[in-house]
Amino acid sequence: MTSNFKSDLDKEQKLGFLLDSIYAKKFGANFQVHRIIDKKRQYAGIDIEIHDYRKRDDVQIYFVDEKAQLDYLNKSLPTFAFELSYLKKGQYRKGWLIDEKKEAAYYFLVTNICTDEQEEFISCKITSINRQKLLELLEAKGLTNLSLEMYDKLLRADKKNGKIPIKELDARKEGYIFCSHSNKAEKPINLVLRLNYLIKMGVGKVV
């Protein structure tokens, strides 16, 4: 295990403690949050289950994938990166946004993560994104999974790097594609979307 990998795991564990404390305060007695530890279910994109007991005879269970801006501590970013693809040991892997095998119905996007002097996590912002509504919004803009994959493959083949505006989105108000071929080992390609835009369009809301 490399030191960077261990550091990332430590950050994820610390953030998990903070998130669990926030959930306990935010969700009332009618909800229970269960953190998933099974590796197969985590691989399927499920970090937590939220059990909704408001209708006692019809308990609803929501599968949630937590995504955090752990590389940007003590910073406030107006956007979030939705993964289209990455490389693992040089092999192409489909990103979680367009991977049909992922089972989460919601993304909890964790941003504005703040630390204290001891580098302990003390606060953050959580934006809940309805995955189906997000995909429907993108499709209405002309960005189906197929067209996103086409963009992804063309940009990866061309080894494009940095911010790439696309015709379907207003780069200043809505989003763009960002390629990291030169500065990250996994060489991810992401669809970067503005959080305020997603909230305005009814796709997301602050928890």
The domain locations on the chain are: 3-206
Q: Provide block-wise average pLDDT over 10 residues at a time, the chain (207 residues).
A: 60 94 92 95 97 91 97 96 95 95 98 95 98 98 97 92 97 97 85 98 97
pLDDT reported for residue 28: 85
Q: Report d(CA 30, CA 55) in Å as an integer.
A: 9
Q: Report d(CA 202, CA 152) in Å as an integer.
A: 26
Tell me the two tokens of residue 3.
């030191």
pLDDT reported for residue 87: 94
Helix or strand or coil: residue 187? coil
Can you give the pTM of this predicted structure? 0.93
